[in-house]
Structure 1
Amino acid sequence: MALLRSFAAFSFCISLLLGLCSAGDPFIFYDWDVSYITASPLGVKQQVIAINGQFPGPIVNVTTNNNVVVNVVNNLDESVLITWDGIQHRRNSWQDGVRGTNCPIPARWNWTYQFQVKDQIGSFFYFPSLNFQRAAGGYGGIIVNNRDIIPVPFGKPDGDITLHIGDWFNRNHTDMRNALDNGKDLGMPDGVLMNGKGPYRYNDTLVPVGIDYETIHVHPGRTYRFRVHNVGVSTSLNFRIQNHNMLLVETEGSYTVQQNYTNLDIHVGQSYSFLVTMDQNASSDYYIVASARFVNESLWTRVTGVAILQYSNSKGKASGPLPDPPNDFYDKTFSMNQARSIRWNVSAGAARPNPQGSFKYGQINVTDVYVLRNKPPVVINGKRRTTLNGISYSNAATPLRLADQYKVQGVYKLDFPTRPLVGPPRIETSVINGTFRGFMEVIFQNNDTTVQSYHMDGYAFFVVGMDFGEWTENSRGTYNKWDGVARSTTQVFPGAWTAILVSLDNVGFWNVRAENLDTWYLGQEVYVRVVNPEITNKTELPKPDNALYCGALEHLQKPQKLHSKSSASSIVAGRMLLFTLVLLYAATAIFQ
């Protein structure tokens, strides 16, 4: 009994130290120093954003139901927020890391995120969500593993490899931001990076000497899991591994019907998992390629990412032409059909023992319908802006969730239109009023000229249809109501639509945005407010004790001692000392 009382005291101490948590679920700690470093990914020295000196940042490797604690020290010269793309933050939009839910972490301050990857598995990534910072780096992979008791629908791979692919500019993100503020396009990227590195010199004319490239080391006969994330600014990329089939097994938290692809289009913000078996001879290394899609290849040839797949018994370097991309510049049907072929594996378990497909979304009555139409940029009040339904979103000085908590009036309006507005576009802080436990149908209609990706925080939604032309009520007849894949980011082709269904069971304010950084930065986003009319901590966790305050609530913010790079380690040491003291206290109590 004394042992049990001591253990209870220990658990209570830990709870006091760490805040709200789920009993029995482990805590995983990370300490991050976010700072600038100088790098030359494409041969030109520039300022990039690193985490603990790494670009890309460290991989967050956790298991379903783990409590994740990330202490962020901001050593940039501007505010920062880290968002966790695809992590659903069940009942906890306070940790979402976007401007509508969190005040930014000021320069030289630190802030600790704490959230649980509740009932979730899969491949995701994190990145800084403010001020176009993702264009300078600050991103990294997230792996959420199944618990051991949950079967995985494929054999355990011999290795796990994360690849961050994305278009890259040699300009600083601040210059790119200023260009957009001044009404200019970003123009063509300078290249495509793989894990923060430039292309292998496959062509002496296109690729200059001295560029560092990524090499993936493998062993013949073994099978590896490749987790590929498009973390770029705005370019859809075709991913392929020379002479190797890629067996698609998972995307953004859902196991998929297992299909082989020789190449796959990965749009901005999307994540995929492939199993790749090293079944080729080792006469030479092999190319890993990420090339721009739906662009004029004669102009964009140099904007190609190339890494090397090297067998342990390789006999020589890769040479010759790159494997061909799809030849469909004037016809995007191939890419759309490829996207339609990605289906949910309804017989596989996910984070829970029951098959993920047991959630029969096609039999649920829809309660709300929103048709979200985007158009090419327009000028509003003398500024070049992007819109959804004729509204260009403007971030309020006070985060929406904080405004609700403290009943601050006039921060936002619950008047976002269900259909495109008739009349001139306008800049507003307009929010969708979601129905708690409702079932929402959202149709993204892309009337722009480029592929757009759309992401929804806090949820996985079902991609049930996509086609060219204008969506109509009759389009529902083409919906996949059985095994449409559940994910958090979907592409919408130009002159086409994509339909999703989402169950609004997660209370909070949740960001719906274009993942293309330029269109997002210029206003193409909206928030969905989901409120439980019954006041209870069962559907939403309370505001964290370390919440930051800004805008109309700035007077509530207590001053924080400014930190430098050298003090980041002392923050970690101080927290670890406190944690050690609690452990020693508990151990003493147990063994007395």
Structure 2
Amino acid sequence: MAFFRVFSLIFIYISLFISRCLAGDAFVNYEWDVSYINVSPLGVQQQVIAIDGKFPGPVVNATTNNHIVVNVRNKLDEDLLITWAGIQHRRNSWQDGVLGTNCPIPPKWNFTYQFQVKDQIGSFFYFPSLHFQRAAGGYGGFIINNRPVISLPFDTPNGDITIMIGDWYTRNHTDLRKTLSAGKDLGMPDGVVINGKGPYRYNTTLVPDGIEYESIDVHPGKTYRIRVHNVGISTSLNFRIQNHNLLLAESEGSYTVQQNYTSLDIHVGQSYSFLVTMDQNASTDYYIVASARFVNESLWKRVTGVAILHYSNSKGKATGPLPDSPNDIFDKTFSMNQARSIRWNVSASGARPNPQGSFRYGSINVTDVYVLKNKPLEMINGKRRATLSGISYVNPDTPIRLADQFKVKGVYKLDFPNFPLTGAPRMEASVINGTYRGFMEVILQNNDTTIQSYHMDGYAFFVVGMDYGDWTNNSRGTYNKWDGIARCTVQVFPGAWTAILISLDNVGVWNLRAENLDRWYLGQETYVRIVNPEDTNKTELPIPDNALYCGALGKMQKAQEISSGALITSGRSKLFFTLLMVLFAAISNLF
């Protein structure tokens, strides 16, 4: 009887614990093997980076406030980090997956990422952040769904489709980075891939026979949410679906004013959600197209991605010419006006019940101003480098956030200039000193000859203005201070500027970078360091138990065995595990 009394009491206690403590935000767990596989997306066999043998990798599917746990086993022959573009990691830059915050995962090692998608919704993607690896794949979609208690600002779609588009080279990513390190340009891409596959053979001259292409199955009369991500290297792409309207609904965590587009320019690193209704007859399949923008079309015709939209009752294959792309090679304003037309849906609720527009960013006083200017590549110390405001960033051996945690001196300089340097450019680890709870205005001035995209980790910023020419103080008079879209990646046209506003409420060290891989690899980035002067875990989570150590802190790293199986993922889970051990001990003592 004693056994049953003890067992019953412990069972009741554990049941109460589960109901009160584990009934909160759910955990979403993944176990990933990151390795090389051989595929032929453009008809040439090459080595790509796969996750669990898949290229692209699996889509992470979560709901607002879920805890994400991803155990990454590095089976490459070089260091690895996975970054989660657009995921804000509230209070937790330790999980950002870039060199400013994390030591790399060595080959044959593993690292478990754990973070909460706190107060977020929307369409994002992940990718490897080191060594030009994104050019070899390793990327996948990341969906954060609304909680059931918060309705969508549109009817629930009949399906959800992720499409990843990007320019592609048939050369290995190691060869591409050697080319850049040698001071040479990458040259024209070999094609555009859609979900890791080459183009449908719409033209027998431009597209060789035998290439595997993507085909997306749909049903007539149904409406689908199609999430499109430009995961490429450096090429802006125009996305369109033959004879179908693209009703824009969301971009990188913000619901937009719903507008129809026949096509939309999607720049490197950007993500959009469209609602597409299958309202055409099924006499044939339809083309899905991603074609290069702002290039010499006659030279780039073969650099076009083509997939197939297949109705379940289709009567034949897609035929004929591709749907036209915007014809504005001599009209600089079309794409910019299209970008300006994308507005924030101020009345829609996002992750919280209150409308997005209840955050009145236009009435907040600016506390810091930074003008970040990029130029064509220039020589620094005999190396061809990319710069921001005259500084080409060099990653220190010890990540910035680790250096702060353990008070390692001399790792970086907190001296990034508010305005571009007037002297000779230099290479160093220069970081922006952000003001906690400040409101930063950043002007991205593009004095290069190509379109650039810029991304900031840990934040959604407000795109308030863009125009051609040089930004001046008078340019503020053109700002949109009411419904400028909030997003994490924005394009800057050549010879033009884009202005963004950032509310610095997320403590940590956050990467601000060019999304164009060639410019990022050559130093066009910095970090924004945001510190709460009050020492409290309420605004930043403590260093994780599984943190990796390198550089000046390398001696702190212990040997590691690759883990597998179930993960103990939180303090509550550990406590639950402890209670189970108490139960087993109690049972053992009764015998």
The answer to whether the aligner puts 1:522 opposite 2:514 as a matched pair is no
Give the residue type in structure 2 aligned to 1:556. Answer: M
Give the residue type in structure 2 aligned to 1:6. Answer: I
Map of 1:430-445 to 2, 5 A cutoff?
Answer: 430-445=430-445
Deviation at 1:572, TM superposition (A): 2.8
Q: Distance in 1 between matches of 2:426 and 2:567?
A: 47
Map of 1:29-40 to 2, 5 A cutoff?
Answer: 29-40=29-40
Q: Is the 8 A contact 1:6 1:586 kept in 2?
A: no
Deviates more, 1:2-11 or 1:461-470: 2-11
Q: Distance in 1 between matches of 2:547 and 2:113?
A: 10
Give the residue type in structure 2 aligned to 1:397. Answer: D
Q: Distance in 2 between matches of 1:287 and 1:483?
A: 33
Q: Distance in 1 between matches of 2:582 and 2:198?
A: 51
Deviation at 1:582, TM superposition (A): 3.7
Give the residue type in structure 2 aligned to 1:321. Answer: P
Deviation at 1:6, TM superposition (A): 2.2
Q: Distance in 2 between matches of 1:203 and 1:306?
A: 10
The answer to whether the aligner puts 1:6 opposite 2:14 as a matched pair is yes
Q: Secondary structure of the residue that 2:565 maps to in structure 1?
A: helix
Match of 1:17 in 2: none
Match of 2:97 in 1: 97
The answer to whether the aligner puts 1:312 opposite 2:316 as a matched pair is no
Per-residue CA distance 1:491-511 (angstroms, 9 max, x = gap): 000000000000000000000
Q: Secondary structure of the residue that 1:178 maps to in structure 2?
A: helix
Give the residue type in structure 1 aligned to 2:564. Answer: V
Deviates more, 1:465-474 or 1:328-337: 328-337
Match of 2:580 in 1: 585
Per-residue CA distance 1:86-119 (angstroms, 9 max, x = gap): 0000000000000000000000100000000000
The answer to whether the aligner puts 1:372 opposite 2:367 as a matched pair is no
Match of 2:245 in 1: 245
The answer to whether the aligner puts 1:425 opposite 2:431 as a matched pair is no
Q: Is the 8 A contact 1:132 1:177 kept in 2?
A: yes
Q: Distance in 2 between matches of 1:456 and 1:396?
A: 19
Match of 2:3 in 1: none
The answer to whether the aligner puts 1:197 opposite 2:197 as a matched pair is yes
Q: Secondary structure of the residue that 1:336 maps to in structure 2?
A: helix
Q: Is the 8 A contact 2:81 2:128 kept in 1?
A: yes
Deviates more, 1:327-336 or 1:388-397: 327-336
Q: Distance in 2 between matches of 1:577 and 1:271?
A: 29
Deviation at 1:125, TM superposition (A): 0.1
Per-residue CA distance 1:175-210 (angstroms, 9 max, x = gap): 000000000000000000000000000000000000
Q: Secondary structure of the residue that 1:572 maps to in structure 2?
A: coil
Q: Is the 8 A contact 1:514 1:525 kept in 2?
A: yes
Match of 2:556 in 1: 556
Match of 1:19 in 2: none
Per-residue CA distance 1:57-100 (angstroms, 9 max, x = gap): 00000000000000000000000000000000000000000000
The answer to whether the aligner puts 1:46 opposite 2:41 as a matched pair is no
Deviation at 1:5, TM superposition (A): 3.3
Match of 2:68 in 1: 68
Per-residue CA distance 1:273-298 (angstroms, 9 max, x = gap): 00000000111000000000000001
Deviation at 1:583, TM superposition (A): 9.9
Q: Distance in 1 between matches of 2:447 and 2:203?
A: 37
1:349–1:175 Cα change, 3 Å: same
1:423–1:351 Cα change, 3 Å: same
Match of 2:120 in 1: 120
Deviation at 1:50, TM superposition (A): 0.1
Deviation at 1:559, TM superposition (A): 1.1
Q: Secondary structure of the residue that 1:573 maps to in structure 2?
A: coil
Q: Is the 8 A contact 2:114 2:569 kept in 1?
A: no
Give the residue type in structure 1 aligned to 2:337. Answer: N
Q: Distance in 1 between matches of 2:298 and 2:578?
A: 63
> Where does structure 2 lack aligned partners over 5 or more consecutive residues?
1-8
Per-residue CA distance 1:379-414 (angstroms, 9 max, x = gap): 100100000000000000000000000000000001
1:8–1:385 Cα change, 3 Å: farther
The answer to whether the aligner puts 1:414 opposite 2:409 as a matched pair is no
Q: Distance in 2 between matches of 1:366 and 1:524?
A: 25
Q: Distance in 1 between matches of 2:375 and 2:15?
A: 60
Map of 1:335-414 to 2, 5 A cutoff?
Answer: 335-414=335-414
Give the residue type in structure 1 aligned to 2:430. Answer: S
Deviation at 1:573, TM superposition (A): 2.7
Q: Is the 8 A contact 2:439 2:501 kept in 1?
A: yes
> Where does structure 1 lack aligned partners over 5 or more consecutive residues?
15-21, 564-570
Map of 1:96-245 to 2, 5 A cutoff?
Answer: 96-245=96-245
Give the residue type in structure 1 aligned to 2:477. Answer: G
1:529–1:320 Cα change, 3 Å: same
Deviation at 1:585, TM superposition (A): 2.7
The answer to whether the aligner puts 1:532 opposite 2:532 as a matched pair is yes
Deviation at 1:151, TM superposition (A): 1.1
Give the residue type in structure 2 aligned to 1:31. Answer: E
| Count of residue correspondences | 575
Q: Distance in 2 between matches of 1:502 and 1:461?
A: 5
RMSD of Structure 2 on Structure 1 (CA): 2.0
Map of 1:438-477 to 2, 5 A cutoff?
Answer: 438-477=438-477
Per-residue CA distance 1:95-154 (angstroms, 9 max, x = gap): 000000000000010000000000000000000000000000000000000000001100
Q: Secondary structure of the residue that 1:255 maps to in structure 2?
A: strand
Q: Distance in 1 between matches of 2:523 and 2:569?
A: 44
Deviation at 1:330, TM superposition (A): 1.8
Match of 1:323 in 2: 323
Match of 2:258 in 1: 258
Match of 1:276 in 2: 276
Q: Distance in 2 between matches of 1:349 and 1:587?
A: 45
Per-residue CA distance 1:8-50 (angstroms, 9 max, x = gap): 66699x9xxxxxxx97111110000000000000000000000
Q: Distance in 1 between matches of 2:430 and 2:578?
A: 48
1:556–1:8 Cα change, 3 Å: farther
Q: Is the 8 A contact 1:10 1:586 kept in 2?
A: no
Q: Distance in 2 between matches of 1:55 and 1:332?
A: 36
Q: Distance in 1 between matches of 2:427 and 2:409?
A: 19
Q: Distance in 2 between matches of 1:110 and 1:158?
A: 38
The answer to whether the aligner puts 1:547 opposite 2:542 as a matched pair is no
1:88–1:575 Cα change, 3 Å: closer
Deviation at 1:560, TM superposition (A): 1.5
Deviation at 1:575, TM superposition (A): 4.3
Q: Is the 8 A contact 1:166 1:231 kept in 2?
A: yes
Q: Is the 8 A contact 1:9 1:586 kept in 2?
A: no
Per-residue CA distance 1:420-457 (angstroms, 9 max, x = gap): 10110000100000000000000000000000000000
Deviation at 1:3, TM superposition (A): 6.2
Q: Secondary structure of the residue that 2:114 maps to in structure 1?
A: strand
Per-residue CA distance 1:329-355 (angstroms, 9 max, x = gap): 122210000000000000000000000
Match of 1:568 in 2: none
Q: Is the 8 A contact 1:457 1:510 kept in 2?
A: yes
Deviation at 1:586, TM superposition (A): 8.2
Q: Distance in 1 between matches of 2:353 and 2:201?
A: 47
Q: Distance in 1 between matches of 2:582 and 2:201?
A: 58
Match of 2:564 in 1: 572
Q: Distance in 2 between matches of 1:101 and 1:577?
A: 21
Match of 1:484 in 2: 484
For normalisation by structure 2, the TM-score amounts to 0.95
Q: Distance in 2 between matches of 1:2 and 1:35?
A: 45
1:408–1:583 Cα change, 3 Å: closer
Deviation at 1:4, TM superposition (A): 6.2
